[in-house]
Amino acid sequence: MIRKSPRNSIPKKHSMELPRRILIGPGVLRELAKVLSELGLSGPVLLVSGHHVIDTVRVIVEDSLLAEEFTYDWTTISAPTRKDVRKVLDAARALQAKMIVGIGGGKSVDVAKLAASTIGVQFVSVPTSASHDGISSPFVSLKDLKKPYSVLAQSPMGIIADLDIIGKAPGELLLSGCGDLLAKITAVRDWELSAKKKGEYYGRYAAELALLGAEMVMKEAERIGSRSASGIRDVLEALISAGVAAGIAGSSRPCSGSEHLFSHALDIVAPNHGLHGEQCGLGAIMMAKLHGIEWQSIATALERLGGHTQASQLGLSEEDIVKSLLLARTIRPERYTILNMTRLTREKALRLATSTGVC
């Protein structure tokens, strides 16, 4: 259902960055070089991946690039950190790379994206799992940035998503992607709230586009949870669409709200306990209740997917959740969300967590 834009939403100038070419399907990684050529890109190409992914895709990628006579080199990263970005930058400069291709999950895509933006070359995204919307968005999240949240880099010029490879990814990565999509429900509500309270620009089209993926996950949770090929493709396309929504909005607003602030706070309070989307899913349940909307439907969808709705399922304690709820509002003070209006105390935070079943 399309909602009206907040009455006092003030349009402001912003720029849009959108992918030029998106190719999805089984076996499409073999067409990597062809797509690069069609986009007018040339070598040398720096390929960025994790240590495990490179073993999975090396032969396919190299055969494709050699067939089109691209020069290339590989660099592997271990984590989404500034150290790994510097490693990619050094490799790109040594190669005199004209483009960087990120192949893998969130860490490889984000590190490659930020490196490409830093040196001003084109970036192409090759996801190997449907775990997050950074596949197509212009935003990057690193573990050790001065700001513990996503920062602007650049949108990928192209996206190549091979369903044969993505379908073999661990199931928890797909659940993470679904949690990230369900988080759009509260992210859009926060954006609307900020427009009403602070006069922030609100883009109805970008908001509705982001919500489409969440609505699809709600309706098709059982089919997606069965890991059917069609379900995996739908989640992947929804994540790409959500990232494009952020590009249209010129900010992460349609995709990231109070539930993401909660997830970022968890990364500080209790790091390495859950995937990004899993944490956002827990956050969305609680933030939906604060907004006075159907939080139970979000929890039910996660359960039908086979995902997590309780902190203990991620190895998190009641204290971890309460501390993160209290910290979340301070993560990004300039971003107005339901947490600014509600102002949780320790007692209210505990009541919120227990009343929603998260604790």
- HEC string of 29-61 equals HHHHHHHHHHCCCCCCEEEEEEHHHHHHHHHHH
Query: Using N-to-C axis directions, what is the helix angle for 258-269 and 318-331, rounded to 10°?
Result: 120
Query: pLDDT confidence of 81, banded at 50, 70, 90?
Result: confident
Q: Which domains are delineated in the chain?
A: 21-168 (3.40.50.1970), 172-355 (1.20.1090.10)
Residue 16 CA from chain centroid, whole number: 18
The pLDDT of residue 297 is 97
The pLDDT of residue 5 is 60
Query: pLDDT confidence of 105, banded at 50, 70, 90?
Result: confident
Average pLDDT of 61-75?
Answer: 96
The pLDDT of residue 11 is 56
Q: Report the C-alpha gap between 241 and 246 in whole angstroms.
A: 9
Average pLDDT of 130-155?
Answer: 81
Query: pLDDT confidence of 146, banded at 50, 70, 90?
Result: low
Query: pLDDT confidence of 1, banded at 50, 70, 90?
Result: very low
Q: Say if residue 7's pLDDT is above 60.
A: no
The pLDDT of residue 10 is 54
Q: Say if residue 212's pLDDT is above 70.
A: yes
Query: pLDDT confidence of 142, banded at 50, 70, 90?
Result: confident
Give the single-character DSSP code of 114: H
Cα 136–Cα 138–Cα 143 angle in degrees, nearest 5: 100
Q: Say if residue 125's pLDDT is above 60.
A: yes
The pLDDT of residue 286 is 98
For residue range 231-267, list pLDDT tens digits in order: 999 999 999 999 999 999 989 999 999 999 999 999 9
Closest among 301, 293, 297, 348 to 321, alpha carbons compared: 348
